[in-house]
A and B are shown apart, each in its own frame.
Chain A
């Protein structure tokens, strides 16, 4: 069983806290959670909503149809009433303007308690009662949530209880076992967490929605984890600061969204020419230009893989869900150092702001590699060549000060093996080929093929990249003969599985953009035929039902 709760209202009405508390309660009780945010680019007013799907089985998509609507203003009822299910409920503090509306006198309750800030907790209590949740267990979780302040916790519990006692059970959820080995995480936190576990010691960024969550994550943990965090004057400074830190010998990272990445562009090529490690997160929003800051998109793919002037190796990974975002960022920290080239983590607002539960990550199983000279090696170094020509193209990495008998140079000009400016024909050819060999080596050793889910010989293969994985996975359950091929590494494009499935299946490519950029990329790299495309560019994520309907109407 799955229940879809929507919390709707204006910015500033406490939606985020409501969402956090409700998600946490159901998560701690052992339910599966899939929580998404739909918000406008403003601090007050407008119409925002968050949806929390709760169930006793894995959920990987949001849903439009609503079981329980918490309407924090009357506008929310107007906007969402057509999506309320037949047996659904609207909870609202006000007049009964709708058959399914139940009045929750939240402000009155808060007034009685003497703390007007606890009004929203009455809604939480009502939701818990409707879904048949044990009050005592839920209260413990709420108390824990507010553990910093006892009086605040008490007032909230009182409001929760009053809301709970107002009504009767209506849509009881099946009981589930509490599960201690789960975590609940959104995409931005997952990228920040992956970077921190991957050894990031410096994070520089310029705030830009929807990527700011990563900066917030790093800042929150900076003092305890000794992660230096700097808010740069612009994105050009942000990426160059991080690159300077990387040259200085520490793992560094930066993050932004499309427009900010445009500013970073010149430096992407610089990273590659200097052959330094750097991981950059780009959290997509609909462009061009300012576009729609708080909405989602997969419109930056072509731009990212073709970023900067000239030709150079670059790896782009688009994590398919929050857990993947953690592991891809963690791995990128190692791989970027191994290959000394830029790694882009390409997510989007949908992935960034969606919370999902996963089995906890086994941190002890992870290792940060070290590709610099060790103490024994460094004393043996003579005639150091920072850009030494090697068989796989990878030269030895060091940082200034590590070698007492040699300088360390990083240069933006074409350069010799020693890093000195050169326009020599032979040097140029050899250096271009050296950088290409690193790219070839990466493809051979570390490129990840897409994962496949579905029947053995599918008639159709739905091809997704990045965050469209989750709703697509839920969608293909409705068909017997459709499989899902989900990419995270998108550049360089892995082609093995594409060529395998092309033999017996028709391809449908699903993308959150209008030009079918991934389909183009597949055609460009493989000359394979894309039979149909499902595109969406309204700034909103796909839901699984929408995908099912579009496959039925447009493909089959």
Chain B
């Protein structure tokens, strides 16, 4: 496999054995297999261990604020409609601090691939609950166990009319690469909730735990049936964790809904004042 473009020899700040490593390998492979490069791909990320991804591969990157990985992605799409945008961050960043942006960009059908590293814990701040941490688990902060129900990102996405709702696991690299590629190629918003163990701070949801409970959706699964997808998305834990594309639909994207952007990427325009001179007439 040739990772020439995206390969970077930067040292990471991830723990040995971190689920981010296999995730990074899958990501590079997906990008390479789609022939993407500097001229057509950008990654937008927030803060957290997952959000450091753009520093550990070679890619155009907007590494912004905690919880704010998504809004800049919208701006990037507006500026250059030919640019593939991948939003990459963790469960805290996307479902907690940035939950509002996640919801509203599902509604917009913003054409981005949204890769959420879901390790069900806060790693960078050392082991507090994330929005997806299991109920009752104790942490240094949640001494009496977590008292809020975990968010179900897939069900949330389906109810918000997201047009691509998937889950994959770093425990199955080939499957993860396939899902990533399909998400990047999807027209519109594509959520991939990626199960990725935190080997240091989450001793419940481990490689073994995910391996034991997750299964790949059956071959004849119908991803166009929204209500069936919603039902299937409820599964998490002992009852099994479905992996694959749970729901996919074709709908006009954010850019389709913004005809004012026009056919050319806006970044190619150099606007001079004289071109907009007629704007003065309404004040006369």
Contact = CB atoms under 8 A, between A and B. Distances in A.
B95 to A, nearest CB: 15
Contacts of A406: 38
A237 B61 CA distance: 18
A548 interface: no
Contacts of B40: 401
A232 interface: yes
A248 B76 contact: yes
B79 A245 contact: yes
Interface in A404-453: 404-413, 419-421
Interface residues on A, range: 35 or more
A197 B62 contact: no
A228 interface: yes
A399 B283 contact: no
B10 interface: yes
B63 A366 contact: no
Interface string B262-281: 10001101111110110110
Given A183-B284, A270-B64, A247 B277 contact: no
Contacts of B58: 407
B276 A196 contact: yes
Contacts of A222: 260
Contacts of A401: 38-40, 60, 80, 82-83, 267
A198 B55 CA distance: 34
> SS class of chain A's interface: helix, strand, loop or mixed?
mixed
B16 interface: no
A232 B103 CA distance: 12
Contacts of A522: none
A400 B78 CA distance: 13
Given A199-B271, A240-B65, A244-B75, A226 B38 contact: no
Interface residues on B, range: 35 or more
Contacts of A407: 38, 58-61
A368 B270 contact: yes
A385 interface: no
B79 A399 contact: yes
B267 A399 contact: yes
Contact of A237 (B71, B272, B279): B71
Nearest to B74: A241
Interface in A239-288: 240-252, 266-267, 270, 274
A364 interface: yes
Interface in B248-269: 258-262, 266-267, 269
Contact of A241 (B39, B72, B267, B280): B72
A404 B39 CA distance: 6
A63 interface: no
A184 interface: yes
B277 A363 contact: yes
A108 interface: no
Nearest to B278: A224
A331 B284 CA distance: 23
B89 to A, nearest CB: 12
A222 B266 CA distance: 13
A535 interface: no
A147 interface: no
Given A248-B83, A413-B63, A240 B273 contact: no
A32 to B, nearest CB: 15
B104 interface: yes
Interface in B206-243: none
A229 interface: yes
Contact of B78 (A232, A245, A266): A245
Interface of A: 180, 182-185, 189, 193, 196-199, 201-202, 204, 221-223, 225-230, 232-234, 236-238, 240-252, 266-267, 270, 274, 330, 360-361, 363-364, 366-368, 370, 399-401, 403-413, 419-421
5 contacts: A180-B284, A193-B279, A201-B78, A225-B276, A250-B267
